[in-house]
Every structure is written in structure tokens, then in C-alpha cells.
Structure 1
Amino acid sequence: MAATSPGSWWSRRPIFWQVFTLVIVAVLLTAAAMLTLTFVGPPSRPAPTVIADIAASLRAGPVRPNNGRPMTLTRSVAPPSPQTGEVRAPWLEAALTPLLAAPEGAGTEPWVIAYSSEQPGPRRRSAEREVRGTVTVGWRQGRVWQVLRSHPSPTETQWVITFALAVGAVLAFILACAWFVVRAIAQPLSALADAAESARIGQPWSGPDGPATPEVAKLAAALASFDARQRDHVRQQTTMLAGIAHDLGTPLTRLAFRAETLSDPQREAANSDIALMRGLIGSSLALARSSMARSELVDMHHLVHAVIAASWQESAPLQVTASPGLTVEGEPVALQCLVQNLVDNMQRHAGGGRISLIERDAMAVLRAEDHGPGFPPDLLSQLGSPFVRGEPSRNAMTGGNGLGLAIARTIAERHGGGLTLGNLDQGGAWVEVILARQT
């Protein structure tokens, strides 16, 4: 991991302490907000409205006692309608009737109409002297109604707004802290995942730069150690295979000399088996060495044309379309082996085909198509693995040794890409290799 700057102190704290600190801060802020709102409010509820004050307000204008509800007086030609939450209050009408004079010629029509938000329930109506909720009272005088309305206390409404704003501010601050903590935890993990995803076979792996928690740093070190062990294991395997190939060369040469003493049919069969053994050894070495090579700029246009020119067969012609100037950073011998394997497969199994080389999304795409029998559908998911052959027979002369596509896939993955394959709708098979322009 790279050295970190002093400003990344928080990002280097353990994940446990980051999450624990967030929880503590959230709990303390919530408790402090609740205590503050408890001690500064809520304001005391408005004092009940005295019924005698309602009557006086209807006669002479609104009266608002200390800590009471504000009241407004209007005139209307229509009977009053209730405010939100109010219902008809016959008990209030009965209490106001003795306090308000009936208009001349009132007859049987009601001349006092009252609504209230208070739900009285069973009560002794003769003892009613005040109202604890809002009221709407209409007093008819001739053809005009005097309408008195009381309203909620402004201090109570203001406290509700203050409470909502305080809770919202605390919640926003806690969410901001949570976002900061989660981001500080997730970013190093995401960077580590990206670094692991972009790792190349055979190349040393290195973790991302920047601050990281101890857990992420430990994970990056473990991945680097694992990668080093894997590369060491590959080197040992390659060394072992090289030793086996070298040691097998001498007995195979002796067998070739001894085969010369055989009759012609037997000598040809023996030489064919010896050639197959040497080819298998060479392919196995190529598969192992494809993950251990140097890198340089390779002109894929020139390489593809060179391989096809060297492999040309009249009985298995190849068509090529390659974009000029398309280069990748990689190992020339491995890339040549990759193209050669694709060409050999098309010539051996399909009698030729087409190869195209284009650039797509800053990647070099090498695609091979043929009109042969295609791949067995039941083996599509396995092709590209070592010793899995698309040709159903066990004859190595026709089916190969099952390492061609495996070598091509390993080389493609080492160069930041991959290999996919399938069958064409009109018959035949296709293999597509993707190579990163820069690794």
C-alpha cells in the first residue's frame, strides 16, 4: 500500500471504530436533540376560552385574554360553517343563549349557532363556563350573522415547526456522517476489487494507492502474498515441464533411431507417435510459458498477416481483414502462438475460414469464423479448458491434443482480455479473442 497523507487519518482508522463512532455520535445527537426540545418546549397549551368572553366579543368585538386563542369577528349573510375539526356544539349554544339577546321577530328559527373542536362527552350543561378548543359561533341579527372564530395558538404552531426543523437537522447531520463513514469504508474496498479485477496472469499484482483501513491493508497484503505464491508455483511448474521435455527428448530420439530398423508401415506408425508426443510436450510447455513473458508493443496487423502467410495452404485458404496500425502491449511469441492456434484449428477442422482484426472500445478484437462442422453444443461451456477437444474422436491426428484453445485463452487473459466462442447460425464456428490495447 502506498504511503498516506496526514489528511487521510480518518480513512486509516479500523472499520470497527468508524462504525462504532458513527453509532455513538448518532445516539448522542439524538439524545441531545430530544433533551433540548423537551426543556425548551412544548409551550403551555392555550388557556380555555371563557364563554362570557365569546358573548362579549360578539357584542363589542374580539377579546383575547392573556395566553388565550386569537379570535376574529366577521359579518356574513349566510350561517357560519365549521372550521376543520369542529362539530356542532348544542351545549355551547345553550350556554350562549342567555348571554345574547334574541333579534326581533326571531320566531322559531335558530339565532345562535356554535361549533367547537372540543369533544365534551357527558357533562353538566348548566355548569359550562369555558371552551378548551377552537370555536365558531354565529349570532343572527336581523338578516346578518355576526361570526366569531377562535384560532390555534401561534406559539404552539411555531413550536411544532421548530421541533420538525430540529429533528430534520439532526437527521440530516447523522445521514451526512453515515455517508462519510460508508464512503470511507467502501472506496478502498472498491479500489481493491478494481485492482484485483485488472490483475494480469503472470504479472506481479499490486494493491491500490491511497489511504485504507487496517482491514483493507491486511486484505491487500494477503492478496499480494497469494499472487506471489501463485506466480512462484507457475514458475516451478514451468521449470518442471521444461526438465521433463528435455529429459524426454533423449529417449524419443533413441526411439526414432530404433524405428528406422522396422518395416515401412511400422516405422511410419512409430514416427507418427513420436511426433505426436513431441507436439504434446511442446504444447504443454507453451501453455505453461504463456503466463510468464516480457511485454513490448506488438503490431497485430503485421503479426496476423505474417502468421497467415507462413501457414498458407491451398486446400485450406484463409481470408484476412486487419486494421492497420493496431498495436497491443504484450509478448510477441505468445501472441504469435495465439494467432497460430486459431489458424491451425480453422485449417485442420474447417478447411479454412476468415480472420478479422478490428478495434472495439479501445480493445483489439481478433475474430475467426469458418464454415466447418462447428463446435458440439454440449461442449461449448467446456471448450477452452486444457485437453478438452471439440472433435469427438480420440484421434490426435484429427482432434488435436485439446490445448490449442486453452493456450489461446490463457494468452488472451494474460493480455487483459479473454476468449469466447460459439456456432454461427448459418453453420460453422466462431472464436473471438479480445486483447487490451494497454496493460
Structure 2
Amino acid sequence: MKRFLPRSLQGQMLLAVALALLVAQGIGAGLAMRAQAEREHNSIAHALAFRLIGSRMLRGPDGDELHPPRGRHPRIAQLATSPRSPMTAGDAERPWFEARLTEILNDQGVEVAEINVFERDFDETMMADFMQGRRGRMRDRGPPDSILFAAVRVNGAQDWLIARALHEKREPYFMRSLLLQTLLIYAVLMGTIALILRRITKPLAQLTRRVEAFSGNPTLGVDGRVEPQGPVDTRSLIAAHNAMESRIVALLDEKDVMLGAIGHDLKTPLAALRVRIESVEDDDERAKMAGTIEDITSTLDDILSLARVGRPSDPIEPTELAALTASVVEEFEDMGQPVELGDTHRVVLSVRATWLRRAIRNLTSNAIRYAGGASVTVTKEKAEAVIRVTDEGPGIPVHEIARMMEPFERGDPSRNRGTGGAGIGLALARAIAEQHGGRLVLTNRPQGGLSAEIRLPL
């Protein structure tokens, strides 16, 4: 059910208003139809009462009771008398009309002893009387549904006075006008609300696109920034976002300046120290000192790279991933490392080649360090390009996989590069994958070892 509901703010608001309007119009239509029915019933009751009250004026000069002309059925508008009530078992009694007609007659000074109001289906015996003087009406509306009989015996009288009234089909004009009114209200109201919602949602949609673009590349600056527009609340939101964006850019600039200063201030003395140790005569001691300096420099490079990954300076360029991966594998092979290039497929993506090469290199280095070797492949799976680095090592406990991708987290608590380094390689690889809109996936292989995958959307 949820998948059929609109997901946008404008769609949900229009649906809510449409449903509310439908309920309101339904209640209004019900009340209007009830009021119309009451008006019709009251009109019939008053017509019957008028005929019954006027019966005294229609009596002969000697006060004889009224009888229909010999051999003819009384006309609808005429009164008739009968020594007993004409209601039969097949007639439908109408208590509401009885109560209402009694009330009207009593208000006019006519004391009712007995009353029967019932409805009888229109039959052929009534057709001739109905047709008399009503041919045009018959053409327009057709015969009525039924005839309403009112049989009344007043106090002191023996016979019953019988009045009749047509109970015609309800004319469709009311429903047609109500339907047209509903459609008109829908058109005007929904159109107006749609325009208002568009004025609200259009700048929100622009702001959403800007936030998505800025989150992927904070170096956008003022280009493409959304200008405050729409209602005052929306304008305030956009202005607040622009101010926050400017503050974030300023902080990132300060961070870059600070990182540049840290890198310069640390690498300069390290380089000087690297020159000085050349004067150390003991070869073993000199090698140890040089290795320590190299570890410090590599760790510093990793930390600075992780800090700068959100604001890369190199451009995005179309790159053939298989060739890029093959170049990384060749680097390790040239150093005599046990790395092999597996099956590869040609996949061209727009990426930052320098950063992606760094991520592949980190994953391969980890596989060599912990498992003694690595196999690298490039495949295409559904809508993703997959750069997969596999090994045959001990793998990672399932509950530790997520933690291993965090900065400075590793299985060995030491920071010695001989036993695993500073724990930045996986975090940097994940950050680079996410920078390209992808993800880093670590899984333990069923046959043993770890599979590290950089999955990039095609």
C-alpha cells in the first residue's frame, strides 16, 4: 500500500487535501440530500393537509359526504370518503407522515381521531387519472414511483377522508449540480494548493540538490548556491544553509592551511634528520633509524591524506579501471611482492585516478602484510564496477569488520608498520570509495581469507 502513496511533500499534501475535501463534500452532500428529502416530505404533508382541511368547503349545500363520480376513479387531487380505512396489508405505512400530518391538522383546529398514511405503488388503474392534463409532465419526468394516501377520521365523524399525493422520483438535477459543484471546488482548490506547494517545494528541491552536491564536493564555493526564495520560512532555511555552507568552507580552508603547516613543519626536520643519520657509522643502527623515520613519514602522509580526502585537488577524468589496477599490481611486482592480477573486465569510469590508485594500493598492502600475498580483479556486477582484492589469510572476525574500517583501528594494538601500521589504510580506502559515490565492502571468503571490494556505481 505504501508504494502507491506519493513520496513527495507536494503529492502527500495534495492527497491529504483531496481526501479531506472528499470527506467534507460527502458529509455536505448527505446533509443536503437529507434536507431536500425533509423539504419534499414537508411539502407532501402540507399538500395532504391542505386537501383535507379544504374538504369542508367542497361539501354540498346539504353537507353531503363527498363521493367520486359514478363509474370513475377519483382524481389525484380530489378527496374521497370511505366507511373504513383503505390501507391493506400490502401497503407501506409511513409513521413520519402520520405524525407530521396530525401535527399540522391539530394546529389548524382539526381534531384527528384516527389516521393512516401509507404508500402504494403506482398502477394502471391510476394511470388515466394521472395522464389527465399531465401529458407534457409525463414526457418530461415519467410516471411517479408511488401514491401517498392519507386516510383521516376526525372526531365525531364516521367516515374516513382520503387524500392522495404523488410521490415522484427524485429529480437528478440536485445530484448533477452537487457533482458539478464538487468538481469546480476540486479544480479551484487543488489548483490553488498545487501552485502554493510548488512555490514552497521548488526551492526546497533546489536546496536538496545543492546539499547533495556540496556533501560530495565541498569545494563548490558559491557556484550553484540557492538564492533565498519562496515563503519567508523557506527563505530563512535557505539563508541559514548558505551561512552554514560558508562556515564549513571557511573551516575546511583553515584545516587545509593547518595541515599544510603541520606537514611542512614535521617533514622538514624529518628530512634534516634523515641526512644526519648518514653520519652514523653502524650500518644496522643507521638502517633502524632510517626505518623509523620512514614509518613516521608514511604515517604522516596517511593522516594528511585521510584529512584531505574530502577536498581532493586533482580533477575527475575518464579512467580505464583495469589498466589502473594493472599499473598498481606492476608496482608491487617490481618490488618483488607476491601480487597477481586476476580476471579483469574493461570498465571506464570518471574517477580521481590518483586517489583510487591509493585505495587499491592500501588494500593490496594490507593483504600482503597479513596474508603474505594478494590477488586483484576488476569485474562488472549489475550496476557496479567492482575492484576486488582477495587473500588467503586469517580474515577478520565478523563482529570486528565494521570497527576495522574506522581510523586508527587495527587488530594489533601496536602501531608498528611491521605488524600492521597505524590502522589508517582501510579507513582511507573507505573514504576514497565514498568520495566516488561507492563503498568499501569487507567479507570473509568461504574457502578462507578476506575479500576487500571497492564498489563504484556505473
Instruction: Tell me the TM-score range normalised by the shorter chain.
Output: 0.5 to 0.7
Aligned match for 1:293, one of 308, 313, 330:
313
Count of equivalent residues = 358
1:319 lines up with 2:338 in the alignment: no
Post-superposition CA distance 1:123-170 (Å, at most 9, x none): 699445785xx712799x9xxxxx963565556764355345424542
Q: Which residue of 2 aligns with 1:68?
A: none
53, 60, 78: which one pairs with 2:73?
Answer: 60
Matched-pair contact (CA < 8 Å) for 2:401–2:442 = yes
Letter in 1 for 2:296: M
Aligned residue in 2 for 1:275: 294
Counterpart-to-counterpart distance in 2, 1:64 and 1:294: 99
Q: Does residue 177 of the first structure (1) align with residue 192 of the second (2)?
A: yes
| 2:306 partner amino acid | L
Q: CA RMSD in A?
A: 4.5
| Alignment match of 1:371 (pick from 387, 392, 398) | 392
Counterparts in 2 of 1:246 and 1:56: CA distance versus 1, 3 Å: farther
Instruction: Quote the residue 1:406 is aligned against.
Output: 427
Q: Would the aligned equivalents of 1:334 and 1:411 in 2 still touch at CA under 8 Å? A: yes
The Cα shift of 1:227 comes to: 4.2
Per the alignment, residue 431 of structure 1 pairs with 452
Write the distance in 2 (CA, Å) between the matches of 1:355 and 1:263: 37
2:5 aligned residue: none
236 and 436 in structure 1: CA distance in 2 versus 1, 3 angstrom threshold = farther
C-alpha displacement of 1:311: 0.3
Cα separation, partners in 2 of 1:252 and 1:201, compared to 1, 3 Å: farther
Shift of 1:344: 1.0
CA shift, 1:390, in A, is 4.2
Contact 2:274–2:290 (CA under 8 A) maintained in structure 1 = no
- Paired with 1:243 and 1:306, the residues of 2 have a C-alpha distance of 30
Deviation at 1:381, TM superposition (A): 1.8
Residue 267 (structure 2) pairs with residue 221 (structure 1):
no
CA contact (8 A) 1:317 1:351 kept: no
Structure number with the higher helix fraction is 2
2:181 matched to 1:166? yes
Shift of 1:284: 2.2
Q: Determine which of 83, 95, 118 is the counterpart of 1:98.
A: 83
CA distance in 1, matches of 2:381, 2:251: 32
**One-letter identity of the residue aligned with 2:44:** A
* Partner of residue 83, structure 1: none
- SS, match of residue 60 in structure 1: coil
The residue identity in structure 1 corresponding to 2:378 is L
1:355 pairs with one of 343, 362, 376: 376
* Alignment partner, residue 48 of structure 2: 50
Q: 1:204 aligns with which of 220, 237, 242?
A: 220
Q: Deviations 1:218-257 (Å, cap 9, x if unpaired)? A: 2552354144224313422431232233333245326634
Tell me which of 117, 123, 129 is aligned to 2:94.
117
Query: What is the CA-CA distance between 1:304 and the residue it aligns to?
Result: 0.8
Q: Which moved more, 1:333-342 or 1:152-161?
A: 152-161
Cα distance in structure 2, aligned partners of 1:248 and 1:61: 126
Q: Distance in 2 between matches of 1:56 and 1:393?
A: 120
Distance apart, 1:331 and its partner CA: 3.0
What do the CA deviations read for 1:288-335 (whole angstroms, capped 9, x no partner)? 3443222133332221111101102766332322222x3333333222
Q: Is the 8 A contact 1:237 1:288 kept in 2?
A: no
C-alpha contact (below 8 Å) 1:384/1:409 kept by paired residues = yes
Matching residue's letter, 1:416: G
Say if 1:138 and 1:192 are closer, same or farther in 2 by CA, change over 3 A.
Answer: closer
Structure-2 change in CA distance of 1:241 and 1:435 (3 Å): farther
1:233 aligned to 240, 244, 254, which one?
254
Return 211-220 or 185-194, whichever deviates more: 211-220
Change (3 A) 1:398 1:187: same
What secondary structure sits across from 1:431 in the alignment? Answer: strand
Structure 2 segments unaligned to the other structure (5+ residues): 1-8, 53-66, 126-144, 149-165
Give the alignment partner of residue 135 of structure 1, picking from 119, 122, 137: 119
CA distance in 2, matches of 1:386, 1:306: 27
Query: 1:90 maps to which residue?
Result: none
Question: How many Å apart are 1:367 and its aligned residue?
Answer: 2.0
One-letter amino acid matched to 1:378: H
CA deviation profile, 1:359-392 (whole Å, cap 9, x unmatched): 4566533222222111233332222222122456
Give the secondary-structure state (helix, strand or coil) at the position aligned to 2:377: strand
Following superposition, the deviation at residue 351 of structure 1 comes to 2.4
Match in the other structure for 1:284: 303
- Distance between the aligned counterparts of 1:62 and 1:240, measured in 2? 112
TM-score, normalised on structure 1? Answer: 0.65
Indicate the residue corresponding to 1:340 in structure 2: 361
AA in 1 matched with 2:192 = C
What secondary structure does 2:220 align onto?
coil
Q: State the percentage of identical aligned residues.
A: 23
Q: Which has the higher contact order (CA 8 A, sep 6+)?
A: 1
Specify whether residues 323 and 112 from structure 1 end up closer, same or farther in structure 2 by C-alpha distance, changes over 3 A only.
closer
Q: 1:302 to 1:396 in 2, by over 3 A?
A: same
Which residue is 1:189 aligned to? 204
